[in-house]
Structure 1
């Protein structure tokens, strides 16, 4: 099982390593409320993975040490002597050799949770900016319409007394909108925020996944080697 897990994590690491640039260059849809919810669900899922992984590693160690202590208390002295250096002690040693890799993997999972937290915050900030820009554009459109109506009234009033009004018979083009520059600045600000957020999200995600799968690959590889060495020294099947 450990060997298969190592192969899967190794393949995942290579895929993420090669896919980083491709992901960033793809056209990505803008974050919506459902994508923000999906990100928060992912936080819960990876947090549960981290908790379960840590409990598994700690429980294995607690079980091995408890069982060894129970055997020492239960067996008669002559049998206790046979336990050292026994296959059981070697199994504990194998666990202890793998433990540093398990600790590193656990930290990598926890770190990935923080990466997703950061992505969630960035998505929320981008949606906030989007709403602010949309509200600002609506307000500017409202003011533009008010100015347009005033100019139309002036045109009609001036035309009655023979004064030249707006070109085009009182009609407006976008280029004549006095608030067009402000609207353009708002849209450019939103686009910059989207581009910066997208770049940061994928850079953080790419780096986080690389660290995660690298740590999991090393852990599963160390586990497989430790078990194979232990089983091989005692003629036990892997």
Structure 2
């Protein structure tokens, strides 16, 4: 509906993107005359840009922006002309007081009259621009907002159903027997944990953007509407006829209610729950890394023990081959000083073996702790997470249901709101 994945051109950036030339189309919007809309297209060229039935939310906003730019330029030019008119009137009054000759006086009066006529024409053009902005507001933007409310109501109701289903699933997982599952963290398992952490972080970021951007958009529309409903005053003694304006268009009630409901939305609980779950996954990831480091240390120590054992055996075999028969006599072995050398080398090997045993015990303890902490945290945090998501989805679904009922009660025909 919002075409979020589609790249849109917005006239707001027209001045900064000289390489994208859409000025011709934007000017067609600005100079668009509805009296020609009923005429057949003489060149049979298809152009969806002028077909309101194919308008998207983005193109409606872009049209409004183009017309607002036109109004801004007209108001600015009108202000300059008003000051010029007032200056000419002041000069004319001074000439009258000084008793200037008739020709100069008539010339000054003609200049004032000409400026006044131009000002009246410009004000009428400005009124036409305001009428077009209000027509776009009531006949294009308002229906798009009602459509968006209906779409959001369906989306959040679907979200609620899914999150409640997920909540039931994670509650049931508490009873699952995991005794036969792997006791150690594999590389594949650790990679999936890192992937899950990244996904949950992105989920948290996108959820916050979803809520914040909704609030920001509706706040911006409310601010724009407040300015849109302020009449443009001429401040001249001469009355400039302006068409009547609807002071309470349907879009006003919808936007005010929308803003109030969004402002009261209890989304902080869901934000915190997702953030906490990301922190839990990060903690599990850190514990797994410590476990894998201990495993790597055990493997290195095991290799070192095998190397030292092999060296000792090679040395011992060579050493024993050099022994004399007397040295090999058990009765004389106790007095042999060379026995200390063998004992020392054996002690180094046994020390490495004992170190390996201690590291393996530490690794096994870490495996158990990682498993227990992971299961405990997941069993507690997952239900908490999906309970929070179910609650916020329910609140959003209820909010848009209320907004839809408000829109249903408002007049759908703009002529009704201006009557």
**2:396 & 2:210 partners in 1: Cα distance?**
14
SS of the equivalent of 2:258 reads helix
**1:147 & 1:183 partners in 2: Cα distance?**
17
Q: Counterparts of 1:119-158 in structure 2 under 5 Å?
A: 119-152=284-317
**2:283 & 2:395 partners in 1: Cα distance?**
31
How far is 1:178 from its partner? Answer: 5.0
Asked whether the equivalents of residues 43 and 117 of structure 1 are also in contact (C-alpha less than 8 Å), the reply is: yes
- TM-score under structure 2 normalisation? 0.47
**2:251 & 2:315 partners in 1: Cα distance?**
98
- Equivalent of 1:37 in 156, 171, 191: 191
- Equivalent of 1:190 in 358, 363, 367: 363
1:13 aligns with 2:167: yes
SS of the equivalent of 1:69 reads helix
Q: Counterparts of 1:19-98 in structure 2 under 5 Å?
A: 19-22=173-176, 24-28=178-182, 30-75=184-229, 79-81=246-248, 86-98=253-265
How far is 1:19 from its partner? Answer: 0.8
Asked whether the equivalents of residues 39 and 120 of structure 1 are also in contact (C-alpha less than 8 Å), the reply is: yes
Q: Counterparts of 1:169-180 in structure 2 under 5 Å?
A: none
Higher relative contact order (CA 8 A, sep 6+): 1
How far is 1:150 from its partner? Answer: 4.9
How far is 1:67 from its partner? Answer: 1.0
**2:317 & 2:301 partners in 1: Cα distance?**
24
Q: Name 1:225's counterpart in structure 2.
A: 398
**1:58 & 1:218 partners in 2: Cα distance?**
18
Structure 2: give runs of 5+ residues left out of the alignment.
1-154, 232-244, 331-348, 410-419
**1:106 & 1:198 partners in 2: Cα distance?**
27
Give the 3 Å change call, closer, same or farther, for CA 30–181 of structure 1 in structure 2.
same
Give the number of the structure whose residues are more often helix, by fraction: 1
Q: How many residues get paired? A: 222
How far is 1:189 from its partner? Answer: 2.4
SS of the equivalent of 1:235 reads helix
1:31-51 superposed Cα distances (whole Å, 9 cap, x missing partner): 333433333233222222211
Structure 1: give runs of 5+ residues left out of the alignment.
165-176
**1:14 & 1:34 partners in 2: Cα distance?**
28
How far is 1:60 from its partner? Answer: 0.7
**Bigger radius of gyration, 1 or 2?**
2
Instruction: Give RMSD over aligned pairs.
Output: 3.0
**1:229 & 1:26 partners in 2: Cα distance?**
50
Asked whether the equivalents of residues 144 and 178 of structure 1 are also in contact (C-alpha less than 8 Å), the reply is: no
**1:20 & 1:111 partners in 2: Cα distance?**
19
- TM-score under structure 1 normalisation? 0.77
Asked whether the equivalents of residues 97 and 226 of structure 1 are also in contact (C-alpha less than 8 Å), the reply is: no
How far is 1:221 from its partner? Answer: 0.7
